[in-house]
Structure 1
Amino acid sequence: MSWNVRGLGRADKRRRVRQVMQDRNVDVLLLQETKKSSTEEMFVRSFWPWERMEFMAVDSEASAGGLLSIWNPEVFQLLDCCCHRNFLLILGIALSSFECVFINVYGPNDVSKRALLWDTIINIRTSFQKPWCMGGDYNEIRNIEDRRGCVRRDRGMLEFNNFIDQLELVEVPMLGSRFTWCNSMEGERWSKIDRFLLDAIWLEKFRFQMWGLPRLVSEHCPLLLMEDKRNWGPRPFRFLNAWTLYPGFLSAAKRAWSEHQVQGWACYRVQRRLGGMKVELKKWNIEVFGLVEEQLKKAEEELHAYDLLAESRELASIEIESRREAKHLVWKLRKRKDWLWFQKSKLNWAQHGDRNMRYFHICASKRQRRNMVDSVVVNGVSIEDPELVRLEVVRHLSKAFAEEWPSRPMMFGNFASIGNVYRGEVLEPEFTMEEVWEVVKGV
């Protein structure tokens, strides 16, 4: 969690922070603007709800600034650190095996000082090359939609976006709120200046969601970054173009279609056969096509074994042929895997010119998080439980598409047929240039 608390001097404020930590089961906390010139353990324990705790702090200058990073040592083990007046970096091992970096950031109010801070952080990237998770109050927006009722500064936006691009970080979309800061006392000013920026590797390992929680103790809302482990049920069926690259796909599809014979009117038969075919293709995808990763790994190991053998001696003709076949198989499996992620990302491959599968994996993951319906608001109440969300969606769509007519209107009578093929072609010709100009001149 990242939170600009705007000072922690009052006991009632610390109690509220403690309650939020406990309710949300927070393991790593990044606080900005603590406004503490010195930070003792007893003070930190007054709002950290768990027994196990480690922390690092950057003291404020008078009553300005101050950073505090707290973590559960059972979740994160510290290895190294680096601090500055405006950021606090900790490097360690998360969840026993994932080596990573957490950075707590507080951007200066002055645009020139912020630019210097961005340069400083970029310069230390080479010293801390593990995956970054950077959260905090950057005091800057990324586009004009991130601000309402406030002065716009194009220079600061440009420098901030360049900073993110140079670090190759990805912003996690925020759910629950549009803005992170509000000062309603001064003309309803709103801004999105708090955010989490992650290295793409984080997005590959975890299914993160970020929530903007209610503003309870300051003008800034706390940002909760958490892995969504809720069960949303089975995923909808989707045809994947990569299936067509598999040699046995067409025969499997034809067999699935022909095996489901039903009686009834035409649309009903098509609907039932498509349903049966969907079940068979999903089963085929898991049992046959879904083994691409395993097959690719096996083929790569085989190719590597032949390469090692070729380094020590000349290969026999049969070994050369086997090596050629293994190399071709690796190429086919990699292409199939790339096609799969490319379709999921829905990007133009030729336009972007990037054939790296990891790139498309990241884009697909981002698109999935952006399109996912995590909650619904009904009569002003936010509903997050998957079962209740499904019920409300069904109720809404049932009401939206319900018909109030007691019976649908029907047409009766004798209807004339178009007749021969020539008459049908006369009704469907393309417009000629002369006809188009005739209409344009008559307007």
Structure 2
Amino acid sequence: MNIRGLGGRIKRKYISDLFKKQQVGFICLEETKCEHISKERCYQIWGSNEIECIEVGVVNNGGGIITMWKKDCFELKRYRSGNNFSIIEGIWKVGKPIEITIANVYCGGTLREKTIIWDEISEISKSHPIKLWCVAEDFNSIRSVGKRRCQNYNVNYSSEIRSFNKFIEDSSLVDISLVGRKFTWYKPNGTVKNIIDRILVSLEWLEKWSGSKLYVEGRSISDHCSLILKEININWGPKPFRCLDVWQKDARFKELVRNKWANYDIRGNGLYVLKEKLKRLKFDIRNLNKFVFGDVNKQRVELEKRVQELDGKDDEGELSVVDREERRQLLADLGQVRVKQEAILQQKARLSWISQGDLNTKFYHSSIKWRRMQNGINGLKVGDQWCEDPAEVKARVKEFFEGRFSGGGELTG
């Protein structure tokens, strides 16, 4: 959250009301423009004394950050501070306790000054033992020209865009997309709006909290919007069925589809027959995948384990002819399983460089989750209200397409 200075009863009330409304456990405030803020002042801001806080004062009359958290949500282990950033390490105690790192950063000034901060944080994250990272920051930088709306489009942001994106890539961080609004900062006169406030997380963070979503609150006293990171897992009903390309390379798959489709005895109009056949075919293909193709990840582990056993036996003495033939066949099977595994991950993750042999299972599974998060419908804006209720969202989508296909007027949702 970016608040220019913390003076004034209205600002303190706005922040306190926001904390109560969202039931947050960890807060990052940027650009406070304060030399020092006492613990008692932090208690007033939050509206509770059951908190702890760390402050980094202003640098060259600018910036200033405060990091605060509830004692029953987070336990501090250690921290380090730099020019306009603090890195907090500790135990997140909500649910099963787990070690996390939160970086609270304010990047003002020139590109050179920003780059110094980015490089320092990137180097720390690379060698840090805790891999669950969250970087909450007023970056004052955009990732692409399309993320900025202004009257003057002739300004060249290419160098800063490249440096900013390089920092995100080098730090192996993921930019969580916004929910509810398109921009996070608005110039008071309305001539400029862009996304300069972000929350970046590591792939390991997404592994732990795959339902992470970044909500943008409406602005009130600041030209910045408040960002709320939440983990939301909503049951949207049955998941869609997706056909894997690797199945089509197996003759058993094509034979099953051909035979099952011809033998389904379904009567009714054409669309009903098509729907029911696809429904039954989905069930049969799932059984084929489960009982015939099997779990390729599990197969790979079992094959590698047996190969290691034979290698260990070989180290102790000569393998028999039967053992050598078994190992040869196991290695051939292992190669086929790896090809299938890479093909499945490539299709799910939509990442081209996996075809070059750079198989990092953990990375690609995280990328798959991230792609699904990006492509998912988090909710709809119904009138002036953001709606995430699955029944309401489905009803609005159905209404929209009914209007489209019936030739009616355009519906909004």
The TM-score range, normalised by the shorter chain, is 0.7 to 0.9
Pick which of 81-90 and 308-317 moved more.
308-317
Q: Of 32, 35, 48, which residue of structure 1 is paired with 2:33?
A: 35
In structure 1, the partner of 2:335 is 331
How far residue 51 of structure 1 moved from its aligned partner, in angstroms, is 6.8
- Relative to structure 1, the CA distance from residue 305 to residue 228 in structure 2 (aligned partners, 3 Å threshold; closer, same or farther) is farther
Q: Within 5 Å, which residues of 2 pair with 1:25-424?
A: 25-48=23-46, 52-60=50-58, 64-94=62-92, 96=96, 98-131=98-131, 132-149=133-150, 152-185=156-189, 188-207=191-210, 208-244=212-248, 248-254=252-258, 256-264=260-268, 269-285=273-289, 289=293, 291-348=295-352, 354-402=358-406
In structure 2, distance between residues paired with 1:48 and 1:246: 61
Cα distance per residue 1:7-26 (max 9 Å; x no partner):
22223322322222232232
SS in 1 for 2:222: coil
SS in 2 for 1:4: coil
In structure 2, distance between residues paired with 1:86 and 1:181: 20
How far residue 69 of structure 1 moved from its aligned partner, in angstroms, is 1.6
How far residue 57 of structure 1 moved from its aligned partner, in angstroms, is 1.5
In structure 2, distance between residues paired with 1:341 and 1:182: 40
How far residue 320 of structure 1 moved from its aligned partner, in angstroms, is 2.6
Cα distance per residue 1:93-113 (max 9 Å; x no partner):
445564432111100222332
Cα distance per residue 1:270-289 (max 9 Å; x no partner):
44323321232235445665
How far residue 42 of structure 1 moved from its aligned partner, in angstroms, is 2.5
How far residue 81 of structure 1 moved from its aligned partner, in angstroms, is 1.7
What code does the residue aligned with 1:27 have? G
In structure 1, the partner of 2:411 is none
What code does the residue aligned with 1:148 have? R
What code does the residue aligned with 1:56 have? I
CA contact (8 A) 2:87 2:102 kept: yes
TM-score by length of 1: 0.80
- Relative to structure 1, the CA distance from residue 15 to residue 80 in structure 2 (aligned partners, 3 Å threshold; closer, same or farther) is same
Cα distance per residue 1:41-85 (max 9 Å; x no partner):
322222336775332221235863221122345544433321012
Aligned residue pairs, count: 401
In structure 2, the partner of 1:418 is none
CA contact (8 A) 2:79 2:87 kept: yes
CA contact (8 A) 2:30 2:66 kept: yes
In structure 1, distance between residues paired with 2:225 and 2:126: 32
SS in 1 for 2:87: strand
SS in 2 for 1:184: coil
- Relative to structure 1, the CA distance from residue 286 to residue 219 in structure 2 (aligned partners, 3 Å threshold; closer, same or farther) is farther
CA contact (8 A) 1:101 1:128 kept: no
SS in 2 for 1:220: coil
CA contact (8 A) 1:246 1:289 kept: no
Pick which of 244-253 and 376-385 moved more.
244-253
Unaligned runs of 5+ residues in structure 1 are 405-443
How far residue 268 of structure 1 moved from its aligned partner, in angstroms, is 5.3
Q: Within 5 Å, which residues of 2 pair with 1:5-44?
A: 5-44=3-42
How far residue 298 of structure 1 moved from its aligned partner, in angstroms, is 2.9
- Relative to structure 1, the CA distance from residue 48 to residue 246 in structure 2 (aligned partners, 3 Å threshold; closer, same or farther) is farther
SS in 2 for 1:46: helix
In structure 2, distance between residues paired with 1:55 and 1:222: 19
- Relative to structure 1, the CA distance from residue 231 to residue 270 in structure 2 (aligned partners, 3 Å threshold; closer, same or farther) is closer
CA contact (8 A) 2:346 2:354 kept: no
What code does the residue aligned with 1:193 have? I
How far residue 154 of structure 1 moved from its aligned partner, in angstroms, is 3.2
In structure 2, distance between residues paired with 1:49 and 1:279: 54
- Relative to structure 1, the CA distance from residue 30 to residue 308 in structure 2 (aligned partners, 3 Å threshold; closer, same or farther) is farther
CA contact (8 A) 2:35 2:57 kept: yes
CA contact (8 A) 1:30 1:68 kept: yes
CA contact (8 A) 1:245 1:336 kept: no
What code does the residue aligned with 1:136 have? E
What code does the residue aligned with 1:163 have? F
SS in 2 for 1:135: strand
SS in 2 for 1:136: strand
How far residue 296 of structure 1 moved from its aligned partner, in angstroms, is 3.0
